[in-house]
Amino acid sequence: MMRQAALLTLLLALASCKSSPPIDYAGPIATWSAYGSDEGGLKYSPLTQITTENVDQLETAWIYHHGDFSDGSGEYGRTSFQATPIVVDDTLYFCTAFNRVIALEPETGDERWTFDPRLEAKLGSGPYPLTCRGVAYWADPQPQPDAVCNTRIFTGTRDAELIALDALTGAPCPSFGEHGRVRLREGIGEAEAWEYYPTSPPLVIRDVVVVGALVADNVRADAPSGVVRAFDVHSGELRWAWDPVPPGWDPEPGPGGRSYQSGTPNVWSIMSGDSKRGLVFVPTGNAAPDVYGGERHGLDYYSSSTVALDASTGEAVWHFQTVHHDVWDYDVPCQPTLFQIPGVGGGAPAVAQATKMGHVFLLHRETGEPLYPVEERSVPGGGVKGEMLSPTQPFPTHPPPLHPTSLTPDDAWGFTFIDRRDCAEKLASWRSEGIFTPPSLQGSVQYPGSAGGPNWGGVAIDPVNGVLFINQIRMALVSTLIPRKQYDQLDTSEVVYPDELYPMQGTPYGVKRGAVLSSWGAPCNAPPWGTLTAVDLKSGAVLWDVTLGTTRDQAPFPLWLSLGAPNLGGSIVTAGGVVFIAATTDKFLRGFDAQTGEEIWKQRLPYTGNSTPMTYRLRPTSKQYVVIAAGGHGWSEPGDALMAFTLPD
């Protein structure tokens, strides 16, 4: 009887098993040749093998651990594995936080080669987690038989070098610069290693490779230049340099061999290109320092803007400023996304630019003119002594702002009346007059915060259905200016990111910034604290807006609540109808139905995935893979896992 019962149990279990549908191999094939899938950053894939009907069958195909991670306790700084790999010519390429470049077999994860730049910079210094978001690929249109470096991988390093590698072997290209390297510190003046270096992938367009760099926020008014430079893809010779100074400005030479103007807006995020039109699109940061502009003297002409540069000369063709005289660190954080969709802006070639405020500006790609009305609206004034605020700021109308714009004591939220009252009292003690409330001595509520809204993850666009997808943080911060004498007496040694205390040397103030949290450690604004939104680009209407993330991995069990989570990283969308995104403080990669916003799949990760995923299918007989870098951020455990998922055989 026991054997019969066991057999019956087994038969019932087998009968209840959901069988996997056969894989459809008739669909398209596609690679992922640039950070955002193409040079325009759509983050869209035409692949259809993984669909809303079978995505719940995805399973782990392979995991690659590269070993380059640190919690900051030793000689290395804290790391964040934010890379989005590229796949070209049957090889997957990515970089690590220590700037090693690694090539893998895309369907097995087997290592093909690695390159170690042997960094000289002290990795343990600086306020930010160490990161490298990606690499770029170039193929010679006229390859020489048996020549080295007919195909190249370009990468930037913590040592502020641009390196060219043979894509087949990983060996430095001898014809490029000095033994494959070009130094990027030439002309920027004196700077600490942590003040200036590339974190985002270079852009290869036509016969040049274009690179910007991170410049540390709020350190000093005479920060390193934000110059953007283009180098010959063959020789590494400097072809042009765009020094982002106002028209007619004569850059001032300075100490340490400086030839580019200090304090100018930098381009730390991801650039886009239009090879046909010969245009480079750069998202600019702030003129220095970020939170006080009284010492800029007009250098914020190009700050917090999308700028189109001539790929041949580096001349500015047009620019659109998303924030005037930015004192909120609302720099443009993400890749300008190029699209052209019938029914959107009359079918014109376009740029979608998301900002930290939850604003998405739709611009004509050739002129920079808005495709739909942008309104200059009055904003709060009354800045500190020495500040010159703009009385108005630009607001898009199509789509309208996608993030709440005010947080007052009446809006205070809490799990109980106790923490809600605590939040209300804190909010009442600070200045809070809605978006663009200027920093103040008493403390000013900034909502959205300087991390967003959106951040470097940017947007993904489905060009077939004309839908834009955007993920956002919904958490406020308080920004407090501190008079110089008072700041100089503070102990800054124990303050670490994401709690912020910056000197802003050369100005009358330092600045303290931090999240607006209750005594229980929860945000004082109502959830959701993370969202994923779909926007119809033709009408500008929000199609759906859903909660992204949970409190898991931030709160103890059983307080794992679907309240949304802070998120850094981006989404991709496929022709199979699935939006893939990790990004959150909980350790999951998720799949959403692109039409409804329903969460239809999620997979636990070993670390948070604060990166943008990618997908590829190599041959007609191949399966489609989805790959994500899971390696934490400043708010979570650092790690080193590159993970691939696919359908079962």
Which residues are tagged catalytic? 329
Residues 6+ apart with CB under 8 A from 354: 333, 334, 337, 360, 453, 454, 458, 459, 470
Element (H, E) at 301: none
The token pair at 100 is 């090693």
CA–CA distance, 224 with 11 (Å, rounded to integer): 70
Query: Cα–Cα distance between 640 and 82 in angstroms, integer?
Result: 10
For residues 311 and 392, give the distance between their C-alpha atoms in angstroms, rounded to a whole number.
33
Tell me phi and psi for residue 56, to 5 degrees.
-70, -5
Return the amino acid letter for 637.
E
Tokens of 176: 């490029």
Sheet arrangement for strand 614-616: 59-65, 641-646, 625-630, 614-616
The gap from C-alpha 72 to its chain's centroid, in whole angstroms, comes to 22
SS3 labels along 59-109: EEEEEEECCCCCCCCCCCCCECCCCCCEEECCEEEEECCCCCEEEECCCCC
User: Can you give the three-state secondary structure of 333-399, one letter per residue?
Assistant: CCCCEEECCCCCHHHCCEEEEECCCCCEEEEECCCCCECCCEEEEECCCCCCCCCCCCCEEEEECCC
CA 30 to CA 51: how far, in whole Å? Answer: 16
Taking the C-alpha atoms of residue 71 and residue 635, their distance in angstroms, rounded to an integer, is 11
Give the DSSP per-residue string, 156-225: E-TTSEEEEEETTT--B-TTTTBTTEEES-TTS-S--TTTEE--S--EEETTEEEE--EE-TTSBTTPPP
**Structure-block tokens of residue 133:** 């978001």
Write down the residue that tokens 């839908």 correspond to.
467
Instruction: Tell me the CA distances in angstroms from 157 to 149, 292, 626, one per residue in order.
Output: 20, 29, 27
Q: Is the peptide bond before 247 cis (omega within 30 degrees of 0)?
A: no
Nearest to 592 by CA among 51, 19, 61: 51
Report whether the peptide linkage leading into residue 453 is cis, meaning its omega lies within 30 degrees of zero. Answer: yes
- Structure-token match 């304090």, residue found: 263
Q: Which of 187, 128, 122, 180 is nearest to 155 (CA)?
A: 180
